[in-house]
Amino acid sequence: MGELTGAARPWGAFLYRDYRMLWVAMFTGTMAVWLRILATAQWLLDETGSAVLVGLIGVVQLVVQIPALLWGGTLADRIDRKRLMALANATTFLTLLALGILNAQGALTPAMVYVGIALTAASHMLSSPARSALVAIVVPERHLLLAASTDTASQNAAAIAGPLLFAAVAVGAGLTSAFLVAAAVALPSAVMPLLIRAGGVARGHAHDDTDEPQPSTLTQTWEGLRYVSRHPILPGLFLLDTGITIASFYREILPVLALGLFAGGASATGFLGAANSTGAIAGSFLALLLVGYRAKGMLVLYASLAYGFVLFGFASATTLWVGALMIAALGAADAVTVAVRQTTVMLTTPDHMRGRAFALMILAAQTANNVGTIWVGTWAGAIGASNTLVLGSLISVVATCLIWRFWRPIREFRSG
């Protein structure tokens, strides 16, 4: 694989000033998302006492996220990505600030909370493709896997830090303070993109060198769909991730798995969730160490195959400690595939298409997560948690082998 030196060491992405600006925006933005999720859910539960109204959060998010994501991907290839990030993240900041002020005055209502959820969910989806597309501009091509792995590890770290901060603030100072702290955390994510020196406008549009007007947003969105569908590698990677995720998505129903596998309650759920996030961080560092491995396509296939076998180990675990080790390994394998998928999009997609390609990658992942929650939850109720995960393991291994056998460009993809 070669020796990692200089910028190719695990911390190498931070040697690039513009990446540091992007990293701060991503880390604070992710923390703000978690703070918003928990604060709004807790407020609705406290004020209404209705689990159904809390569950409507998912419906609101689903309705706004898909169009916002597709539009965000097109905008990322159409306007200045730095300004798009700044405006979207500023919307999150202002929304969280408004929720905090309204709650302090006793004027906050469930309808206002749902509007706040819709605004912040949409703004996050608008910002994400632009941010991902900018990484390939501010980091040299040979170090993109480093940046993608650092992003994956940092997102998992933020997913741990955000809930911990929420618990400390909400218990110690109340939900008003939680909203205001979330706003304060979100503010850097709106400022940092404006400090980036690299250009934020996508390069390589066919109309750049002509007097032809820029195509409509709808036309550009359709162009992005056609481009990805005809790409030699991306459809296979997205299909593989979708199939495995639908068959085995466990994060949203950890309480069901903790009870079904280990007869555990909330403490077991929390323990497994923490183990999974910790494993994902470790897997991101493993991807950093594999930056010199040129067969990136095979790396995804190896990690996906490992995921399938480890899932069988998780299904077969008889103690909570063994289960925690298995679910940590699942997080690690998943983190490797995420980092390599992101790197592959950056390396194989021209700059003027990256926003739309990343939007479709995120859309595939979000859709698979939602469908996977339904699939695993339904089968767990019908045949039991352990049998459901065994079925997911089998599907994951078979899906990986099929992509391995029939999607030649993935097998042959090399970089670095």
Query: Is a pLDDT exceeding 80 seen at residue 269?
Result: no
- pLDDT, residue 130, reads 93
Query: Is a pLDDT exceeding 50 seen at residue 5?
Result: no
Scored b (16 or more CB within 10 A) or e, 356-368 reads: bbbbbbbbbbbbb
CA pair distance 356, 144, nearest whole angstrom: 18
Query: Is a pLDDT exceeding 50 seen at residue 204?
Result: yes
Query: Is a pLDDT exceeding 50 seen at residue 159?
Result: yes
- pLDDT, residue 353, reads 92
Query: Is a pLDDT exceeding 90 seen at residue 383?
Result: no
Scored b (16 or more CB within 10 A) or e, 182-195 reads: bbbbbbbbbbbbee
Asked whether the beta carbons of 359 and 76 are under 8 A apart, the reply is yes
- pLDDT, residue 3, reads 43
- pLDDT, residue 414, reads 86
Segment 127-144 shows an average pLDDT of 90
- Among 11-20, 59-68, 96-105, top mean pLDDT goes to 96-105
Q: Is residue 9 included in any domain, yes or no? A: no
Final residue belonging to a domain, choices 154, 184, 203:
203
Greater confidence (20 vs 216) lies with: 20
Nearest to 82 by CA among 164, 245, 201: 201
Residue 85: alpha-carbon gap to chain centroid: 16
Segment 238-255 shows an average pLDDT of 84
Query: Is a pLDDT exceeding 80 seen at residue 221?
Result: yes
Segment 400-405 shows an average pLDDT of 94
- Split at pLDDT 50, 70, 90, the class of 252 is low
Q: Is residue 129 included in any domain, yes or no? A: yes
Domain span at 300: 231-412
CA pair distance 98, 87, nearest whole angstrom: 16
- pLDDT, residue 230, reads 93
Structure token pair of residue 59? 């419906």
Q: pLDDT averaged over the chain?
A: 87
Final residue belonging to a domain, choices 203, 222, 251:
203
DSSP class per residue in 158-206: HHHHHHHHHHHHHHHH-HHHHHHHHHHHHHHHHHGGGG--S--S----G
Segment 39-46 shows an average pLDDT of 86
Query: Is a pLDDT exceeding 90 seen at residue 25?
Result: yes
- pLDDT, residue 2, reads 42
pLDDT digits (tens, 9 = 90+) for 172-189: 888 899 999 999 999 999
- pLDDT, residue 9, reads 63
- pLDDT, residue 1, reads 39
Q: Is residue 214 included in any domain, yes or no? A: no
Report percent pLDDT > 90 for the chain.
Answer: 50
Instruction: Say whether both 42 and 190 belong to one domain.
Output: yes
Final residue belonging to a domain, choices 188, 203, 218:
203
Instruction: Say whether both 27 and 115 belong to one domain.
Output: yes
- Among 36-50, 94-108, 283-297, top mean pLDDT goes to 94-108
Query: Is a pLDDT exceeding 80 seen at residue 112?
Result: yes
Nearest to 134 by CA among 234, 216, 23: 23
Instruction: Say whether both 281 and 143 belong to one domain.
Output: no
The model's pTM: 0.83
Q: Is residue 197 included in any domain, yes or no? A: yes
- Split at pLDDT 50, 70, 90, the class of 372 is confident
Greater confidence (349 vs 141) lies with: 349
Segment 278-290 shows an average pLDDT of 85
Segment 145-159 shows an average pLDDT of 87
Q: How many domains does the chain have?
A: 2
What CA–CA distances, in Å, run from 205 to 136, 223, 355, 414? 17, 12, 13, 26
Q: Is residue 222 included in any domain, yes or no? A: no
- pLDDT, residue 120, reads 95
* CATH (domain of 83): 1.20.1250.20
Q: Is residue 221 included in any domain, yes or no? A: no
- Split at pLDDT 50, 70, 90, the class of 4 is very low
Burial of 86 (0-12, 13-18, 19+ CB in 10 A): buried
Instruction: Say whether both 249 and 398 belong to one domain.
Output: yes
Instruction: Say whether both 64 and 181 belong to one domain.
Output: yes
pLDDT digits (tens, 9 = 90+) for 235-244: 999 999 999 9
Instruction: Say whether both 112 and 63 belong to one domain.
Output: yes
Q: Is residue 124 included in any domain, yes or no? A: yes
Nearby residues of 388 by Cβ (< 8 Å), 6 or more positions away? 315, 376, 379, 380
Instruction: Say whether both 192 and 257 belong to one domain.
Output: no
Instruction: Say whether both 26 and 77 belong to one domain.
Output: yes
Instruction: Say whether both 59 and 170 belong to one domain.
Output: yes
Instruction: Say whether both 251 and 305 belong to one domain.
Output: yes
- Split at pLDDT 50, 70, 90, the class of 212 is low
Q: Is residue 48 included in any domain, yes or no? A: yes
Instruction: Say whether both 263 and 122 belong to one domain.
Output: no
Instruction: Say whether both 323 and 396 belong to one domain.
Output: yes
